[in-house]
Structure formats: C-alpha cells, structure tokens
Structure 1
Amino acid sequence: MPDNRRILLVEDDVLIGMMLVDMFDALGFPQPEQATSNQEALAIIGAGPIDGALVDINLGDEKGWPVADALAERGIPFAFTTGGGDVIPPAHAHRTLVTKPFRISQIEAILDEFFAD
C-alpha cells in the first residue's frame, strides 16, 4: 500500500479516533488526516486531495451529512461509522455502514475496497 494515500477520519470521540488510527497502523495504512467536526473535515477536504474517508454520522450535536455530500461531489470513496440507530439519507443509502464497536477486519475490508484497482 503506497503510504502517500490521504485518508480522512471524521470522528468526534478522541478514544475511538485513537483506536482507529492504531488499526490503520496495524494494517499498514498511513496515518489518517483527522477531524472532529464538519467544519474541520470540510477544511481538510478543501485543502487537497483525499483518497478515502470514514465519516462518523454523529459528530457531537451535528450530523456528518455535509462531509458526506462534499466527498460524494468529489467522487471520493467513503463509509459511514455509527453507534447505531441512524437513518441514512437516500442519496447515501448505498454507502457502507460500520457500527461500533469496530473490528479490525471491517476496517481492513473498507480500506481495501477504497483502494482496489
């Protein structure tokens, strides 16, 4: 896996974010760009190319839909993460949904899917 791939991780829970970064590392993927809010994530997306993303649906008091829309507009592959109970808007209903607690095999499958040639 080339280590110049930029992966965006949008997760407002610091401990879950750290766990996911550890999973990326264990799988041989580069350290992801991290954001804890829509505003931070949109700034990262606007700053340069992103190759894939994991987007938490619930970001504090906001939903990750603006990030999902921005990624979709740019054709960037992404998957949603959630603690469960969320209804995904029809425009994104086809996206992969990973529920917490995450298993490394799930994360590996999603990342492999992003970068399958």
Structure 2
Amino acid sequence: MVDRQSAKDRRVLVVEDELLIVLVIEDTLTDLGAEVVGPVAHLDAALRLAAEASIDAAILDVNIREGNSYAVADVLAERGIPFVFCSGYSDWALEERHRDRPRLNKPYTSKELEEQVLELLGGASG
C-alpha cells in the first residue's frame, strides 16, 4: 500500500459526467488531501485541462458527454501523467491501445478509488 502522504497537495483531474459519482470522487480526494481539478463532464473541457493544467494524475470516466475520454487519455499519456479509467464495461470494450491502463470497474467503492489514486500518485513524480 502506498502512503497516504503521497496524495497530499497533489492535483487530480476528474473527468466524470455522473454527479453522484463526482461527489464520491471529490470526497475521496479531499479526504486524501488532494486537490480536485475540474470536475469536467464535457470532452472539450477535459481535453483543454489534460493539455494545459498542472496535474499529477487523472480519473477518467470512459463514456462522457460528447463521446469518450480516449483522446484525453492520449494527451495525458503524452505528458507522462498517470490515469485510471472508470467504466462499467469489460476490458474488451476499451480501445486496444489503452487496455493495459489501470481501471476501476463501476460500481467501485471509495476504498477501491482511494487505493487506485494512491497507486497512481505513488508512481508519479511530484
């Protein structure tokens, strides 16, 4: 288990279009001492933040308004920013180029989210 201190004052982009899930993510990140960037539910805003914002990690809902978050994942990967996909779909539904990325299966618990975020941030330079 990665130390909870790895999340303190780290910035995490949240791309999610379901309000109840956003609230759980925000609560979890706040409890860890991380700063929420966003949340955003639209592809254009997500792409802008992924390209320009100072962030340490990201949580990406696969299906968002206006499509999916694969283009956002591509930008994050180019920048070397770790991220996790959140989806109710099986691995086969993910685009092949992203199948090796960390994934949380919906519905997931706050504890599972916390563990995944700590793992992302523990491996990220900050």
Give the % identical residues: 34
Q: 2:59 aligns with which of 50, 54, 61?
A: 54
Q: Which runs of 5+ in 2 are unaligned?
A: none
Within 5 A, what are the aligned runs for 1:5-44? 5-44=10-49
Tell me how far apart the structure 2 counterparts of residues 35 and 12 of structure 1 sit (CA, whole Å).
7
User: How many residues in Structure 1 have an aligned counterpart in Structure 2?
Assistant: 116
How does the TM-score come out when normalised to structure 2?
Answer: 0.81
More relative contact order in 1 or in 2 (CA 8 Å, sep 6+)? 2
Counterpart-to-counterpart distance in 2, 1:46 and 1:85: 28
Over the aligned positions, Cα root-mean-square deviation in angstroms equals 1.7
Q: Runs ≥4 in structure 1, deviation > 4 angstroms?
A: none
The structure richer in helix per residue is 2
Q: Aligned residue for 1:77?
A: 82
Q: 1:108 to 1:90 in 2, by over 3 A?
A: same
Report the counterpart of residue 111 of structure 1 in structure 2.
117
TM-score (norm 1): 0.87
Matched with 1:94 is 100
